Every structure is written in structure tokens, then in C-alpha cells.
Structure 1
Amino acid sequence: MQLVQKCSLTVLLMQGNVGVGVGVGGADGADGILTVAELIRCHEDSNSKLFFVFFLHCFFTIMHLGINFLLVLFASAFLPTNSHLVYKKYYPETTIERLYVPESESRWKVKSEDYTPYDYTACPPNWKCDPDDPNGIKFNEIDGELDRHTFVKKKYKIGPDGRPLNPKGKTGISGRGSLAYWGPNHAMMTIISRGKANKEYYVMRSNRTTTVDAPFLIEYVKKPMVQVFPPTLYQIVIGDMKEIFPEAAILEALEKFYKESSVVYQGYYTDQRNTDNAWSELTILEIDDPSREFFNVVEAKKLTLPETGEEVIFQWEELPEEQVEKKIKEIIKRSDRTTGEKMLHRIRRAKMFFQKQGIHGILPVLNDFVSNSIGLTGVAVTLASFG
């Protein structure tokens, strides 16, 4: 038997953990036994081929990932940054009809003399709103206690009348609408959970919210980059913690929440109250307390939401993580994301997965990947040897 054939069979036997120096040839098996010199040559030859094929495998894998990444960058840079949003005919709680905007004319750079939308600005009761005249407001920066930056793009444009322009395009109605602020109105949804084996989520229930379709509270905040809870949830969590922990421990806990919170999504939020000059953006955070160190003191609460006057109950419930993930996807799906934003979301979810798994969870995944790669490479070497 030729040395090449002996080598290929030996590689297969080594992968099967059978050993080396086994008879595979003639009737007495003598022809298939490798001598020490042949074994050394076979080992060197198979190792070099294994390395070469494995190198090619890694090279083409990296090339594939690189090409996909470049395609994402191209799509983000050159394709339209806003797909066409379809709003309802009438603005919420009014008889004001939106002007229909064809998809071909939805972007601001497309000028249309026929585009003369109704101008509507109204401040909801008990809300503190921007002045009706936006001139003098510091857009695209921190304006006092309010963050007027956007998560949709680097900066939003300001029109010749001093009004900010919706980064997702025309909506069929101008003005501030019934939103509180000109430009971005930042909303926040914080998902808090505790425990590990029997994981519980702090959910909101009411007569209108009796299913898992909408169990998490969304409220407007002033500084989404530094806040970790919307106002109502902050009062509940910190209020209960004050009953048990000293102030120093609470401050330490808040710092821990801020550092360890996972940003699931930050971007445009499709709210029917959005206008050409005022729009909602959403931040979704996840804060987990697997050891129940802090959230174990947070109890069920019955209260009235300040914005809507709705009576709700906050309580701990065991929910499958798949159900929570589904809810998040439903919200994000309505957010009109660009290709780049979708890619960023996938990267964030992957990062969160590895953070949750830890090194003990990552190693088995890597081990499986390496084992499969070596197994496939070994087969390739064997076939190459017979060729």
C-alpha cells in the first residue's frame, strides 16, 4: 500500500480515537502497518495539510463576514435612510386629517409645492410643554435638563422656520402635535427581572392590559442616556429600596444598574402622535438581578398612571424569556429601522447573549465550533490524500 493511502487511513483512525499502527492492508495486515519513519512522515504531512485546509476555511469565513459587513455599510450609507411610514388618517383624539404623502415624496430633499399639511400644536393637560415658537431652543444638544439629541442619526435638520425636521421624513401634519417637545421626545421601557432558575419579570397589568401583549411600561424621560428607569418605575423601585437599604447602598445599586443594564434598542418609535416637527424615540433597557440582591424588596403596587389616569397593578410574574423577546421584537418591528440599525440591534443582542452566558457558556460554543472545523478539515485531508 502506498504511503499516501496509509496516511489518509491513519488520519481517519486518529479522528476516531482508535490509535495508530493498525493493519489495514493485506490478508495478514502487514502491508497496512506504518513503520516509525513512515509514521513521522505521515504525521508531518497530515499536519501541514490540516493546517493548510483549516487556514483556507478560516480565510474564506472571514472574507464572507467581511463582505457582509461591507454590504451593510453600503446599504446604510447609500440607500434611503427612511422607508415609508403609514400613519392613520386622523391625528389621535382629533378630527384633523393627515395629508397623504406618497412614498416617492416622503423625504425632505424631495420638494413638493402641493405639500401643505395642517399645522397642529396642543399641550396635553398637566403637561409641561415647549413654547409654541421653537426659536431659541437648543436643538441637537443638551438643553438645560432636557436631552435634545436623536438616536436616529447624528443630527436632525432644522427647517427655515426654525422647526426641527423629522429624520424619518414627512408625516402629513406639521407642528408639535400633542407631544411635549419640538424634535425628539424620548420614551423609555425598562424590563427588570430577578432570579435565575425561576426568573420573574416586573409587569404592568390593568383592565385594558390583561395579557402579555403589553406588560411593560413605556414613559417619557428627559435624559435617556443617564436614566435607567422611567419615572413611575423609578418611584416604585427606589421607594421600596429606601425602606430596606441606606442611601449609600441605593446610590451604589443605581450605579450598578446603570453599568450592567443592557441596551436592547435605541431609535425611532412609530407613535401616531408624530408630526413633521416632533417625534418619539424609544430606549429599551434590560436590568437583571439573578441573585435577588436588590429587586427582592420590590413589591406589587397598585397605582394610577399620571399621563393617562389609568389604574394599573405592577407585580412579579414568571414569564418565558421567549415571550419577552417576542414582545420586544413586536415593538422594534414598528420602528422603521434602516439596514444599519437592524445590524446594530443584532450586534447588541449577540453581546447581551455572551454577557448572560459568561465564559462557561461561551467555551462550549467555541469548542463545538473548533471540533466541527477540525472534523471537516480532517475529511478534506483524507479525500485529498486519496486523490
Structure 2
Amino acid sequence: MKDTKSMIYPSSMLCFAPKEAKRKKKAGPAHLQCINVRYDGYGPDRTHVPLQRISWIKSFPRYMPSQYTSEDVLSKPQWADPPMDSPKVRVPAYNQLDGPVDRRSHHGNYKLDEGVPRNPRGRTGMIGRGVLGRWGPNHTATPIITRWARDKTGALREVEGKRVLETVAVRSRTGWALPCELVVPEDKSVFSLLGFGTRRAFLTELVRNKTRTAAEDASKSLSQLFAEGTVIYRGYVDDAKNTDNAWLETVSVNFHDNSGTKFGSFRLAEDFTWVEAHFSLNVFAQHKEWLREVVELHRAHW
């Protein structure tokens, strides 16, 4: 498979040029996780949306979505837009770079409905921002950190003649999930792709019981490991937190330690772990699709 160099988009947030596996461009998933359920599994009820009425091009004259924006978002934290009814609030510059905040979508320009963005994937049964801070796309990063699995003797593990991949994962409410965090607009380092939690996964143990010089050298080495990666996916995320006016998008990048001597030298924080990437792994549906692509990229066992 031929690779081509490409800047990760939104380019204002990330400052290195990973390889991007050349593959057929995808339109992004339908959002089945965020319709006809309680909001994000515990919030208010959504208005029922029949599958044939999700698309905005389908007539739905009786559509009366419920409205919800969490108190955490309305408290005006730094990571959220202020309420539209706040005094002297500035209307965000949608579909463009708005100061440090990138409001562009990976799928092109989105439409506005009564002055606020409209979810490009269709109706969700809820208006407002839910627990998401930004109107429109809320950009996240999903690093897929991999290495080759080994047995107790240190030999490469194989199944049916193919090597087995391990990936860094975190426990979710239903199984496993890849690390996925909001991109911090002000952070223009290579670590902005990883998010604070993923950085902490490596750096928490990294700085313990080390001299300052040793810690700085190790941090520099880790930074070099994340200087390049292969883009697996960028676009809409089918997530239970999405609403008609706010949704998640991500850039998923594979960082692979082929020698097994790089990431393995860093001890993970206790809420992160290495798990084998295979078909029966209980992982969030879209994450599983990306893992499968990574496995295919490295010709590993699935």
C-alpha cells in the first residue's frame, strides 16, 4: 500500500506531517449511537427519530427535538463556547478557523439552522450542545499506539502464521476503548494529538524516581516516537454525545513501535494497558473498525 505525506487537518492544531495510508475516501458513519436512546446513556430522553427520517432531506414536519445543554457546559469553562444568550456574546466564526478554535469540519462546510450549526449526519432527537463544549464540530484525537505481541520468552507471538499486534487501550463502561480526547487548541506541540490523559499514560511513570536530566531525556525520546504516524481515519464520530447542533469528529493516527524496544520502555499508568488487537476484542464499534485497518496495514493476525 503506497503512503503519501499529508498534514493532519485541522492543520492549525497539529504541527507534524504523518503518513496517510492511501485508501478510498469515506463519507463517515451514520450516527446510530445517538438516536432513540437516553442522552449519552444517562441524560434526558431524545425525541424518537425513525431511521428513515434521520436525513435532513427527508420531510419530518412533526419533528420536535428535546433540548439539553449540561450545567457543566453552561458554567462557561474555558473549553466551551459561552451560551448564545450571554450578554455581548460574539457569534462564532463557523466553518473556518476562529482564533485558536478550528470550527471546520473534515466533511466540508456544514449548514446553519437559526444561527447554529446543523449536524451533517442528520437528526439526533436533541438540540443544544449536550455535554459538548463547542457548537458544531468538537475535534478529538484518537492515537492507536501499537507494538508486536510477545510470549514470556520474548519471542514474537504468531497465530496462523501471522504476527499479533498489541494496542494501548482504556477500560470503558462496556469493554475497551482507544484513548480519545479533545484537542486543546492552544497546544501546538506534537503531543496535542495525544491529549493530556494519553500523555499522562506514559509520562506519569516516566518522571518517577528519575533525575531531572534523565526525565528530560526520556521525555525527548517519547516525543520523537510520536513525531510521525499513519493516518487511519479523520471525520465524524458516531457517538452518544452528539446532538443536532454539536458533534464529535476525530483524527485517528497509528503510532507503531516495530522494534518493540521503544514504547515498551515506558511503563503505562494504571488505567491504561496493552491488549491484543483481534476480532473478538470487546471494543467500541468504530474503534474496532480502525483497529482492523491498522491490523491490515501491518499484515497482522485479526
What range describes the TM-score normalised by the shorter chain of this pair? 0.5 to 0.7
Tell whether the 8 Å contact from 2:233 to 2:252 is kept in structure 1 after alignment.
yes
SS, match of residue 88 in structure 1: coil
* Deviation digits for residues 301-357 of structure 1 (CA, Å, limit 9, x no counterpart): 23xxxxxxxxxx32345x2x4248x667832579xxxxxxxxxx89x948972xx46
* Cα distance in structure 2, aligned partners of 1:201 and 1:89: 30
1:257 pairs with one of 226, 233, 253: 226
* Deviation digits for residues 4-50 of structure 1 (CA, Å, limit 9, x no counterpart): xxxxxxxxxxxxxxxxxxxxxxxxxxxxxxxxxxxxxxxxxxxxxxx
* Cα distance in structure 1, aligned partners of 2:285 and 2:42: 27
Is 1:322 matched with 2:278?
A: yes
SS, match of residue 180 in structure 1: coil
1:266 pairs with one of 234, 245, 252: 234
1:154 pairs with one of 94, 108, 115: 108
The correspondence of residues 270-309 of structure 1 with structure 2, limited to 5 A, is 270-302=238-270
1:214 pairs with one of 153, 162, 176: 176
Corresponding residue for residue 7 of structure 2: none
SS, match of residue 249 in structure 2: strand
Letter in 1 for 2:241: R
1:183 pairs with one of 132, 136, 141: 136
Deviation, structure 1 residue 166: 0.2
* Deviation digits for residues 149-189 of structure 1 (CA, Å, limit 9, x no counterpart): 222x1121122x22011010111111111212111122333
SS, match of residue 281 in structure 1: strand
Tell whether the 8 Å contact from 1:299 to 1:315 is kept in structure 2 after alignment.
no
The correspondence of residues 184-263 of structure 1 with structure 2, limited to 5 A, is 184-195=137-148, 197=156, 200-205=166-171, 213-222=175-184, 227-241=192-206, 243=210, 245=214, 247=216, 250-251=219-220, 253-259=222-228, 261-263=229-231
What's the C-alpha RMSD, in Å, of the aligned pairs? 4.1
Which sections of structure 2, spanning at least 5 residues, go unmatched? 1-23, 150-155, 158-164
Give the ranges of 4+ consecutive aligned residues of structure 1 lying more than 6 Å apart after TM superposition: none
Which has the larger share of helix?
1
* Cα distance in structure 2, aligned partners of 1:233 and 1:84: 26
* Cα distance in structure 2, aligned partners of 1:256 and 1:118: 45
* Cα distance in structure 1, aligned partners of 2:215 and 2:288: 41
SS, match of residue 235 in structure 1: helix
Task: With the length of structure 2 as denominator, give the TM-score of the two structures.
Answer: 0.64
Letter in 1 for 2:264: N
Which sections of structure 1, spanning at least 5 residues, go unmatched? 1-71, 303-312, 335-344, 362-387
Cα distance change of structure 1 residues 141 and 255 upon mapping to structure 2, 3 Å threshold? farther
Deviation, structure 1 residue 129: 1.9
The correspondence of residues 333-348 of structure 1 with structure 2, limited to 5 A, is none
Cα distance change of structure 1 residues 256 and 201 upon mapping to structure 2, 3 Å threshold? closer
Letter in 2 for 1:299: R
Letter in 2 for 1:280: L
Percent identity of the aligned residues? Answer: 28
The correspondence of residues 1-387 of structure 1 with structure 2, limited to 5 A, is 83=30, 85=32, 87-92=35-40, 96-110=44-58, 112-124=60-72, 128-133=79-84, 136-151=91-106, 153-159=107-113, 161-195=114-148, 197=156, 200-205=166-171, 213-222=175-184, 227-241=192-206, 243=210, 245=214, 247=216, 250-251=219-220, 253-259=222-228, 261-302=229-270, 313-316=271-274, 319=276, 321-323=277-279, 330-331=285-286, 349=293, 353=297, 356=298
Higher RCO (CA < 8 A, seq sep 6+): 2
Report which of the two structures shows the higher radius of gyration computed on alpha carbons: 1
SS, match of residue 124 in structure 1: helix
Task: With the length of structure 1 as denominator, give the TM-score of the two structures.
Answer: 0.52
* Cα distance in structure 2, aligned partners of 1:97 and 1:205: 26
